[in-house]
Amino acid sequence: MDAYLLWEFSKKTVQRTLEKHPVNIDYILGSIGLAREVLTAQSYDVKMKMARLFSPNSNRVRLLQEKNWSLEAYPVSMLGTVLPCVGDLPAEVIVGSFIDVANYVRQDTLRNLSSVRYIRSLSAIVSILETVPAMVVEPGSEQRRLDVMVGVLGKVEGTIYSARGYIEDGNHRALALIFSNPNRKTLPCWVGRPLPQGTVPGAGQGISGGGLQPHRSCHPLYAERSR
C-alpha cells in the first residue's frame, strides 16, 4: 500500500516530466523521493492510507476487503483490461484481451491518442513501474460484462474477451511494461481472489489480515523503512 500511495503522490509530476524530451529520470526519482519523505512524516495508519487512496464509497475498497491478495507473476495471456474505459482507448479494442490492447497501442499511427502517448512515455521508467504492480481481480467475469459496457457507453461493438482476471488498477502501467518488452509472458501483479466461503470480509488474507502489504522492491526509493 505504501508503494501505491507514493505513486499517487508522485504521478502528476511524473506525467508532466515524461511529456518533456529527453526524459529526466533523475528529476522523476527526486520527485518520488520527496513524496516519500512527506508520506513518512505523516505516519499514516492503514485506515488513513485507504482514505487517501480511495474514496469511502469506492468499489475498490470493497474489493480490497473481500478478496485474498497475493503478489504473483501473472500470465499476460490470462488478462483483460478494466471496463468500460481505459483512458481514450476505443471500446471495441478494450473488450478484447490484454494482448489485443497491447498490440493496438504499439501501432505508430496512434501516437496522437493521449493514452497511447502516456503508455509509451511510462515505458521509459520500467524500473519504477515494477515497484507498483497492477491490481488484478479474479474472476474477470465479475466486471468484464456487456451490461457494464452498455450501461455507460450504450451500444458496444465486438465480443467481450473472457479473461481469467481483469486489471482493476494499473492498466496504463501494465501496458507500458509490455510496450517496453513485447516478449514478456508475465507481469508482476497483486492478484485478488474470492475469500473462502463463509469467511468474514476483511479477515484472513484480506486487508485486516495483512494480505495487501507494501511491495518489497529492490528500488531504494521504495524500500520499506525499518520499524
Sign of the alpha-carbon dihedral angle for 137, 141, 142, 148 = positive
Provide the residue range defining the domain that includes 189.
Answer: 2-194
Domain count, the chain: 1
Amino acid identity for residue 36 in this structure: R
Does residue 50 sit within a domain? yes
Task: Confirm whether 178 is domain-assigned.
Answer: yes
Q: Indicate if the pLDDT at residue 24 is higher than 70.
A: no
Give residue 51's pLDDT.
64
- Reported as a single tens digit per residue, the pLDDT across 92-148 is 999 999 999 999 999 988 878 889 988 988 888 888 888 888 999 999 999 999 888
Across 158-186, average pLDDT: 94
**pLDDT value of position 3:** 64
Q: pTM, whole model, 2 decimals?
A: 0.77
From 22-31, 74-83, 197-206, 209-218, the region with the lowest mean pLDDT: 209-218
* Residue 78 belongs to some domain of the structure: yes
Q: So what's the pLDDT on residue 32?
A: 67
Cβ within 8 Å of residue 97, ≥6 positions away:
77, 79, 80, 161, 163
Task: Give the mean pLDDT of 185-210.
Answer: 70
207, 130 contact by CB (below 8 A): no
Q: Is the pLDDT of residue 225 over 70?
A: no
Residue 167 pLDDT greater than 50, yes or no = yes
pLDDT at 224: 36
Q: Residue 226: inside a domain, yes or no?
A: no
Residue 195 — very low, low, confident or very high, per pLDDT cuts 50/70/90? confident
pLDDT tens-digit map of 31-41: 666 666 666 65
Is residue 163 predicted with pLDDT exceeding 80? Answer: yes
Q: Which of 181, 178, 180, 211 has its CA nearest to residue 194?
A: 211
* pLDDT of residue 88 exceeding 80: yes
Choice among 37-41, 65-69, 172-176 with the minimum mean pLDDT: 37-41
**Cell triple for residue 195?**
475469500
Whether residue 222 is contained in a domain is answered as: no
The answer as to whether 211 is a domain residue is no
Predicted local distance difference test score (pLDDT) of residue 218: 33
- Would 122 be classed as within a structural domain? yes
Pick from 45-49, 71-75, 101-105, 200-204: least confident = 200-204
204, part of any domain: no
pLDDT for residue 42 is more than 70: no
